[in-house]
Amino acid sequence: MATEQTPEPANIVLRRFFETSESARKAASHLKAPAEVGVRFTDVAGEYRFTLVDSKPRFLDGKAIDPDFELTMAPGAVNAIASKPDADVGDLGILFFQHI
């Protein structure tokens, strides 16, 4: 009997995208080191933050200390963005803004 697989939580999906996607790396290369984005999810409790660590994009647990801006993301938005790990940075930006 086949069972339906439980989808991964949005925070795990977004973390993997930010830390492994070439598109995310290219987009993050334009950020300055102290930049920080606060992130919340509609399906996952807690607060998270996106920042650069050693010039690499990192998605970390915990509240952003001094966020440049904050986002609340639904699972559909996270999945749409994460499904394009090799997208052109401009296309990724358009996709991002379509879902926030």
d(CA 10, CA 13): 5
* pLDDT of the residue at 2: 47
Q: Return the domain boundaries, the chain.
A: 10-98
Mean pLDDT over residues 28-50, rounded? 90
Predicted TM-score (pTM) of the model is 0.81
Rounded (10°) CA dihedral 24, 20, 58, 47: 90
Tokens (6 digits) for 83: 């499904």
**Does residue 23 have a pLDDT over 90?**
no
For the segment 3-14, what is each residue's pLDDT rounded down to a tens digit?
Answer: 567 789 999 999
* pLDDT of the residue at 49: 95
Mean pLDDT over residues 51-64, rounded? 89
